[in-house]
Amino acid sequence: MPQLSSKRPAQAAIVAAFLCVYIFWGSTFVAIRYAVQYLTPGFVSGFRYWIAAAIILLYRVARGQSIRIDRREALRLLILGLFLLTGNNVLLGCAEKYITAGYASLLTASVPILIALFETFIPGGEPLNRVGWAGTVLGMGGLTLLLAPVLRNGLVLHGHGTAADSALALGTGILIAAIFTWVAGSLIGGRYSSRVDPVLGAAWQMAMGGTVNVLIGTALGGWHTAHWTPGVFNAIAWLSIAGSLIGYSCYIFLLENVPVAKVATYAYVNPIVAVILSAVFLHESLHGQQWIAMAIILVAVAIVTASKSKHAPSRTLTEEQPEAA
């Protein structure tokens, strides 16, 4: 894990950290899409978090650092984990059984817009300025275009239409639930300050969330339906090491050494990476109006992010980035 210092790091280290956040976090959608074809989503998310948490905690113990947290902090991390790492991640895995990784990443890219929109209307939230509202309206237009095929047929399945239409509607409905779970957890987490080191807090959150996820997978018969192929082990290892461990460490490193506005660019680079990797490794691609919707949504996310970056404080990974922790 990168070590922070008072001296400004070399430009090469900053560039490498950005590449890790861009590529590794964008790739998580592809790895999840592959893994849930063989394991229950509860196992995919649970095992990745267990591994990442164990590495972080053992690393701190080996360095003589404390890993203790008090009961109040443990309860806070458990609640957030249930929203962010269980509700969101397990539901995302369920959704990706039916929809492509690129489509999932693009719909998930709306999270910064939705958080900004909800912040405007809840007590104590930061209201959108005119630029932010322009980006939000543009983003909603892009989402409407992206969801047009589903909206025409309705999110409720009536047994008619093609199998592809049904799968798209089902996966989209599940993913929308996952997105709103993340938004709710982010808004809750942003209103409770923490004195725990962010890396240690993330480790315990992953440990607790991962445990709940594995229990869910077990309850749904995951051990009987699991297919332990070499590809599955590779996907879990990639999600744990690249997505959760290295990606998160690089994110913290960047927050300490680079302006927040620049770090926030991950929000609209990750979907591009996911779409490219999905095409390369899974032979899946966006089509037709989805490409136009992608351009509109990513521009909108950039506008909303830029409108808030000068005023908003730095958030931790578990408050902003779906599928990365």
pTM: 0.87
Q: What is the pLDDT of residue 309?
A: 61
pLDDT tens digits along 116-131 = 888 888 887 788 889 9
Of 250 and 3, the one with more pLDDT = 250
As a whole number, mean pLDDT of residues 169-176 equals: 93
For the record, the structure tokens of 109 come out as 């890219």
Q: What is the pLDDT of residue 119?
A: 87
Q: Is the pLDDT of residue 157 over 80?
A: no
What is the rounded CA–CA span in Å between residue 259 and residue 74? 30
For the record, the structure tokens of 9 come out as 């790091």
Q: Which residue has the tokens 């404080």?
A: 313
Q: Under a CB-based contact definition with an 8 Å cutoff, are residues 127 and 295 in contact?
A: no
Angle CA 35–270–101, to nearest 5: 35
For the record, the structure tokens of 312 come out as 């908003």
Least confidently predicted of 29-38, 51-60, 153-162: 153-162
Q: Under a CB-based contact definition with an 8 Å cutoff, are residues 243 and 31 in contact?
A: yes
The ranges assigned to domains in the chain are 11-320
Q: What is the pLDDT of residue 29?
A: 96
For the record, the structure tokens of 166 come out as 């049904």
State CA 279 to chain mean position distance: 20
| Per-residue confidence band for 95, with pLDDT thresholds at 50, 70 and 90 | very high
Q: Is the pLDDT of residue 319 over 50?
A: no
Residue 96 phi, psi dihedral angles, 5° rounding: -75, 0
What is the rounded CA–CA span in Å between residue 170 and residue 157? 8
What is the rounded CA–CA span in Å between residue 286 and residue 252? 32
What is the rounded CA–CA span in Å between residue 82 and residue 240? 18
| Per-residue confidence band for 313, with pLDDT thresholds at 50, 70 and 90 | very low
Q: Report the amino acid identity of residue 103.
A: Y
What is the rounded CA–CA span in Å between residue 115 and residue 76? 20
Q: Under a CB-based contact definition with an 8 Å cutoff, are residues 49 and 244 in contact?
A: yes
Q: Under a CB-based contact definition with an 8 Å cutoff, are residues 200 and 60 in contact?
A: yes
What is the rounded CA–CA span in Å between residue 149 and residue 176? 15
Across the chain, mean pLDDT equals 86
| Per-residue confidence band for 198, with pLDDT thresholds at 50, 70 and 90 | confident
| Per-residue confidence band for 296, with pLDDT thresholds at 50, 70 and 90 | very high
DSSP for 139-208, written as a single string = HHHHHHHHHHHHHHH-SS--S-S-HHHHHHHHHHHHHHHHHHHHHHHHHHHTTS---S-HHHHHHHHHHH
| Per-residue confidence band for 286, with pLDDT thresholds at 50, 70 and 90 | confident
Least confidently predicted of 60-64, 95-99, 319-323: 319-323
Q: What is the pLDDT of residue 317?
A: 43
